[in-house]
Structure 1
């Protein structure tokens, strides 16, 4: 089954930037663009605004206007729309399940603005079973120019990052871009050493050569599957989030994996994904390990 690229919109500047990003990606991949807007009835004192049907008409007219702009820019793009009354997070999670990827807008980045993700965005990323791309207001097609890379984080064993690497290579192939695969490492605590791990490190020639071999092994099947995609292997000592952000300036898209954690106060998407979403200057794709 061919899945569409789905964009969630709500009329904000950042969601319109996400819609434009999704449209360009759909054109590149030859896929349908599906535009989804969730809405809830908002009662107002004004009589003419208190009717759910009236509000639905207003929202539909706004959605149709946005889609007309997209089709004017991409006249050959197949576009579907859906207006869904209900909870925004639940609607978007359901929309993501049938999508190649879900694209959402985000408010900004950097420590001044506080948390990048609101409760809806965080819940969608934590619960979605497909990749979710976050795009900020002001994102421009020029950021996808030749020479800018798809930066992807790789951690653990090859199977741990297979979905993340697959997404990065597929995206790079569609854009004619290269991949920079980043693996961060740090010195393990003394108690983490074991005779088996020491033997592996000795055979590899030390910690950094071991990490380089691990990255090369994880990349090998994807190099073979996408022989036309240039690859840079980047191994650096430091935290994963810091190392990824150190190369963000050259990225047209950053791709990170996530394994959601449930806590008493809600879903957490992991420190690496959260840090990159909060600080990266480019769109960020968060890929669940099950994708």
Structure 2
């Protein structure tokens, strides 16, 4: 496991057709934070799911070639960026979880379980619960424009996720849309949910005066549509990591093409502003 005064962005590459987009996203994030980029390929790293390729199994030489190509691409993307690489044998989920302990951010790509079955794949699903650093999941060629969207589940909301949402919106110079769900059938509960969300955001808004905040309270049946639309029109969807149950599955499995990345923030994490110090 690597250690460094400047916690790096760790990017996982697996040779899938979407991994170049994931790598570009990781390079952009490392450059924005002013920290090194560490490219990681776990060998044997071939996909072994139901819809895997039936061709020859890649060897270690193929893994090294993939890693070298990824490093070259990252350096071309951001020539001033410090880029390192590592080829490791083992379990991708376990190794990435270990690296998350000293990373400012872990970036991976989503791998659907199959046609018509959106999901994250086993590695991303594991890291969504166990990563010690924020986890950024690339879910398609979404536009990096529009607002930052924060999905709030609890009455208070994890402070690290709320803070990170304000930081991201401030850095991007865009507005922040905070979405909270409530159970329909009780109008008083709906008004209470809106008031609690407004108070939660007001507690942070003073630290980020440039960020325009839009609270949005939606009924549970409308949440899937709302998050799906936000994923297509926003630049980033943020939620707290470690969540279980229907809401976590909904955030991870919002269907549709052209989705924005999802950033899952653990209860305690590095801030964007402090990452490069």
On whether the aligned pair clears a TM of 0.5, the verdict is yes
Within the candidate set 81, 101, 105, 2:105 is matched to 101
Q: TM-score, normalised by structure 2?
A: 0.80
Rounded Cα–Cα distance in structure 1 between residues aligned with 2:261 and 2:65: 28
Out of 248, 251, 254, which is 1:279 matched to? 254
Q: Which stretches of structure 1, 4 residues or more, deviate above 6 A after TM superposition?
A: none
Give the Cα–Cα distance (whole angstroms) in 2 for the partners of residues 133 and 256 of structure 1: 11
CA 223–55 in structure 1, closer or farther in 2 if over 3 Å, else same: same
Deviations 1:20-62 (A, max 9, x none): 11111222222221111111399xxxxxx99xxx943432232
CA–CA separation in structure 2 for the residues paired with 1:144 and 1:81: 26
What corresponds to 2:50 in structure 1?
none
The one-character-per-residue Cα deviations of 1:117-172 (angstroms, maximum 9, x if unpaired) are 222222222211222111135x26xx113xx01111112232x3212112212222
1:65-114, Cα deviation, whole Å (9 max, x unpaired): 121112112111121212111111111111222112211111349x9432
Report the alpha carbon displacement of residue 176 of structure 1 after superposing the two structures with TM: 2.0
Per the alignment, residue 126 of structure 2 pairs with 123
Return the offset for 1:258. Answer: 3.5
- Structure 1 match to 2:90: 86
Matched, 1:225 2:197: no
Q: 1:241 to 1:258 in 2, by over 3 A?
A: farther
* Alpha-carbon spacing, 1:213–1:2, altered in 2? closer, same or farther (3 Å): farther
1:192-215 CA-to-partner distances (Å, cap 9, x unmatched) read xxxxxxxxxxxxx93333222201
The reply on whether 1:176 has 2:173 as its aligned counterpart is: yes
Larger mean CA deviation between 55-64 and 176-185 belongs to 55-64
Q: Is the 8 A contact 1:28 1:174 kept in 2?
A: no
Structure 1 unmatched ranges of 5 or more: 43-48, 190-204, 261-268
Q: TM-score, normalised by structure 1?
A: 0.77
Alpha-carbon distance, 1:252 to partner:
1.1
Q: Which structure is higher in helix share?
A: 1
Indicate conservation of the 8 Å contact 1:16/1:105, yes or no. no
